Structure 1
Amino acid sequence: MAELSTSLETLPIPDIRRLEQFVAVAESDTLAVAAARLFVTQQALSTAIRRLESELGVTLFDREHRGLTLTPAGVELLRNARPLLTGARHLTRSVRAVAAQQPPAFVVGHSPALSGAEVFSIIEPALARHPDISVTARPVFPAEFVDDLRSARVDLVLRRGIDTPDEVTSTVVGYQELRLAVTSDHPLATLDKVHMSQVAGHPVIVWAPERHSYYTDFLVAHCRRSGFEPNLRIDRVQGTPPTTAVLVDLTACAFVTAPAGPAHGGRVIVKEFTDPPFTPVQALWLSHTLSDFRTDILNSAPDRLSPEGA
């Protein structure tokens, strides 16, 4: 195989079609399954993979054992080829849209922990600078983030988190103040402001178990730093505004970012904390894609979300 080059400009560029064939083989149990998926013969597919290896100057599959086993170089190529192929499809879509003078809607996916109103506040400054852009916002559950980005069902994901999943790029776009939602007849509803220690002894509703959600882990860690172990309950209704959680579990409270005051016709009261915690809002998008509108969202959101001194 070829030696490593010290200059990126002299390195070969892999053929997109062969990259697509490589991904199909890597994701299939056998070469026959991959060939059927691509509607080509096994011989043609095998030849294409060997040509890709020759182009790159590496071995992608270990052929000394039965089955299709990726080499370390093959693992690295698979990890980066998927977002690159999706980026190429995004390019085709955007070029066709410009030619047709019909730009597609920019789709913002958001976790159930973020409300539609909060999503609008994040994208509003960019909307003012892009009057030709139409936007669709829709809830996306955490397990679907990466797949929806890869398949172009969404262009950007907003969630509460800080880790970066494989195949995507991320940044924290700001922080939001946490408050406490309770029913109007809850013992904490009579307080002017709530001290974090006063949450102890009251069940806390979360949207995913501990160690299954960064947001849950963040809330649990904050409770522990305040000196108590929270009694967690999982919300039985997913996808509705976070303030509705306490209407289903009347004895519990829920951490929310909704404005302080009454909600849902006065049945829910959102209380401020005396020393409020702030939770991050993270944006996720696909590597190898460009969007002026997305860049404007990322650049303008921090000024609107970040608390003073955060």
Structure 2
Amino acid sequence: MDGHRVPRADRPLDLHRLQQFLAVAENAGFTSAAAQLHLTQQALSTAIRQLERQLGVTLFDRTGRRLRPTAAGEVLRDGARALLAAAATLAEQTYEAGTESPRPFVIGHTPAITAEEVYLLLASVRARLPTVSVTARQMFPDALVHALYDGQIDLALRRGVAMPAHLASAIIAYDPVRLAVARTHRLADRDIVRIDDLRTESVMVWAPPGHSFYTDFLLSTCRRAGFEPRFVVNRIQGTPPVTAVADNDCVAFVTAPAGPAVGGLVRVVELADPPLAPTQALWLPHTVSPVRDLLTVQQPTTDAAE
């Protein structure tokens, strides 16, 4: 392809052709992609050639047995997912507006963000859009991005700060971290605990370091206090974070309010100079939503004790 050729601005990308390109990229070849799209291989190959001519770049390395995206193809592949998902969302919103049959606004959130915290974040939505229905759905972190692309959720909430490629994001709240312990734990009767009091404790987490921003955040918090924490991965996933220490001698960093929890089996204790855990919202770019706009305006620190 002519590397000096600039794509024509008056010929925007065809979404149907983008779907064809994405099928080829994800199947690493024309045979499976053509079968998936119910096209002949020749028709699909011609469509990809036409897309390459329009863009002025080669999208696939065709020298091996399997097609591999070029650097340009990787950029288009990653951007195509977000663009196609945004187009599907726009079509759905247009239908809902024309038929007066709106569906709920669906929020996916990781277990590190409690349902109560999601409710508190919705204060402005409840006040200004009282007729809008919202559904909160707990999901594991690895599933959030796929759920956004697939249209299962409209907004994702997680503990994180990194900006993912091809998604829009914003930090919308900071929550003070506290300590959860079983009622029989040696720290259960304390009014306040210092982080360096935990040097000899086993800290319950939901994923090992390197697999969870929240775990990495807690690791850095302990290291700043001058010690290397001993982590234990929770064997029961999907329940409220405070339950992680109900039947063991571990401690857990949580954002639940101070006081008794889990029917008195657990006590949440304040931390001295508590770290603030960020709540990050993720959504599809090129989409509009009044609910999301209210949620993603910078909000004050959320404190579940209020």
Normalised TM-score (structure 2):
0.94
The Cα RMSD (Å) is 1.7
Task: Give the distance between the partners of 1:215 and 1:194, measured in 2 at CA.
Answer: 20
Q: Return the letter of the residue paired with 2:294.
A: D
The SS at the match of 2:204 is: strand
Distance 1:284 1:74 in 2: 24
Distance 1:185 1:64 in 2: 66
Correspondence for 2:216: 217
**Paired residue for 2:290?**
292
Number of positions where the alignment pairs a residue of Structure 1 with one of Structure 2? 302
Confirm whether residue 144 of structure 1 aligns to residue 143 of structure 2.
yes
Q: Which residue of 1 aligns with 2:302?
A: 305
Task: Say which SS state the counterpart of residue 187 (structure 1) adopts.
Answer: coil
Measure the CA separation in 2 of the matches of 1:227 and 1:64.
54
Q: Give me the whole-angstrom Cα distance separating, in 2, the residues matched to 1:89 and 1:273.
A: 45
Report matched runs for 1:237-276 at 5 Å: 237-248=236-247, 250-276=248-274
1:281 corresponds to 2:267 = no
Contact 2:181–2:268 under 8 Å retained in 1: yes
Deviation at 1:165, TM superposition (A): 2.7
Summarize the alignment of residues 183-202 of structure 1 with structure 2, pairs less than 5 Å apart: 183-202=182-201
Kept after mapping to 2: 8 A contact 1:181/1:253: yes
In structure 1, the residue matched to 2:59 is: 60
**SS in structure 1 opposite 2:264?**
coil
CA-to-partner distance for each residue in 1:189-226, whole Å, 9 max, x for gaps? 12121111111111110010011111001101111111
Q: Does the aligned pair in 1 maintain the 2:175–2:301 contact within 8 Å?
A: no
Q: Are 1:183 and 1:247, in contact at CA under 8 Å, matched by a contact in 2? A: yes
Match of 2:174 in 1: 175
Name the aligned partner's letter for residue 165 of structure 2: D
Deviation of 1:130 after TM superposition, in Å, equals 1.3
* Conserved? CA contact 1:12–1:56, under 8 Å: no
CA distance in 2, matches of 1:189, 1:279: 22
Deviations 1:41-100 (A, max 9, x none): 111111111111122222212234443122211111111011100111101111111111
Residue ranges of structure 2 left out of the alignment (5+ in a row) = none
- Structure 1 unaligned regions, length at least 5: none
| Percent of residue pairs bearing the same amino acid type | 46
Give the Cα separation in 1 of the matches to 2:9 and 2:141: 40
Post-superposition shift, 1:237?
1.1
Q: 1:295, CA displacement in angstroms?
A: 1.0
Does the 8 Å CA contact 2:117/2:302 hold for their aligned counterparts? Answer: no
Quick one: distance in 2 between partners of 1:89 and 1:40?
22
Report the equivalent of 1:38.
37
* C-alpha displacement of 1:123: 1.7
Q: Distance in 2 between matches of 1:46 and 1:10?
A: 24
Q: Are the aligned partners of 1:122 and 1:304 in contact in 2 as well (CA < 8 Å)?
A: no
Cα-to-partner distance string for 1:117-155 (whole Å, 9 max, x where unaligned): 001111221222112311110111011111100001011
Q: Which amino acid in 2 is paired with 1:287?
A: P
Tell me, in whole angstroms, the C-alpha distance in 2 between the residues paired with 1:57 and 1:233.
Answer: 52
Partner in structure 2 of residue 126 of structure 1: 125
| CA apart distance, 1:264 | 2.0
Aligned AA (1:28): N
Is the partner of 1:173 in helix, strand or coil? Answer: strand
1:10 partner SS: coil
Task: State the distance in 2 between where 1:67 and 1:86 align.
Answer: 26
1:215-252 residue CA offsets vs partner (Å, 9 max, x unmatched): 0011011111112221111111111111101113x211
Residue of structure 1 in register with 2:94 after alignment? 95
Judge conservation of contact 1:111–1:159 (CA < 8 Å) in 2: yes
* Residues 182 and 253 in structure 1, CA contact (< 8 A), matched pair in contact too: yes
Structure 2: how far apart are the matches of 1:217 and 1:225?
Answer: 12
TM-score relative to the length of structure 1: 0.93
